[in-house]
Amino acid sequence: MPIHYGSKAHHFQTISSPLATQIPQAAGAAYALRREGNKQCAICYFGEGAASEGDFHAGLNMAATLGCPVIFYCRNNGYAISTPAVEQYRGDGIASRGIGYGIDTIRVDGNDTWAVYAATKAARAIAVEQNKPVLIEAMTYRVSHHSTSDDSSAYRSKKEVEDWSKRDNPVARMRAWLEHRGWWAHGDDADISKSAKAEVLAAFAAAEKLKKPAVRSLFEDVYDELPPNLQREKAQMDELLKKYPDYYQINDYARS
């Protein structure tokens, strides 16, 4: 999917769609970091809905028993797509599960930027100094739809969303904090929003002019050497592209 970013240079693992698969992967990556002994840790982000998956329990138990320097960061925004938290579990959120696995756990106000920063900083210190996992449950609220195909008005009222937006907006809270200290003036964000929007639109226009990735990239970045079955598929694809270039619009794709 277009939002599945990743960056090897920035140590940012590529996102994948299957729910909660990143949790045991993070425990494994953290175990490798522990063996390297270079005082690094992994951090894994997921929602409270993912905590209902078996991979959540496997990942936390693995991290706890092996002493993996990993931070499990759960964003509890009240909804797993259309399922409200009250229908997901009967226990006290996700934090109690970490305690059950013998993991140091903290629950924070997920709409308080500085609370999140402080909790994450403290969790990292524990992870890298003591080689143990930490679970953070950040309590927040999802004001937007889950995705472009989701209409949240089908399972919650618009008033509920509006109330949360006004009462506990993390951006508004940060703005108020900055204004109170004289580091931000009322109306400053209007100029920044305008310039940021112009930058985004310029980048968007430039990206639209680029060709799509080369078709051969469909077969790359998985195997070191392409297995025979994929070699056959690639040969068949090349034959089809050569035979029907206009139908597959091959000029829209990079050649190398």
Would you please indicate which residues are annotated as catalytic (active-site) residues?
142, 146, 155
CA terminus-to-terminus distance, the chain: 22
Report CA-CA distances (Å) from 218 to 8, 69, 193, 221, 231: 19, 34, 37, 9, 12
- Please check whether residue 238 is in contact with residue 197, taking contact to mean a CB–CB distance below 8 angstroms: no
- Pairing between β-strand 83-84 and β-strand 104-109 as defined by DSSP bridges: unpaired
Q: Hey, how many other C-beta atoms are within 10 angstroms of the C-beta on 70?
A: 33
Q: Output Rg (C-alpha) for the chain, integer angstroms.
A: 23
What does the DSSP assignment read for 147-211?
Answer: STT--GGGTS-HHHHHHHHHHS-HHHHHHHHHHHTTSS-TTHHHHHHHHHHHHHHHHHHHHHTSP
In the block, residue with structure tokens 């998985």 = 222
In the block, residue with structure tokens 């500085």 = 114
What pairs with residue 104 in β-bridges? 134
Report CA-CA distances (Å) from 169 to 48, 126, 162, 189: 20, 30, 10, 15
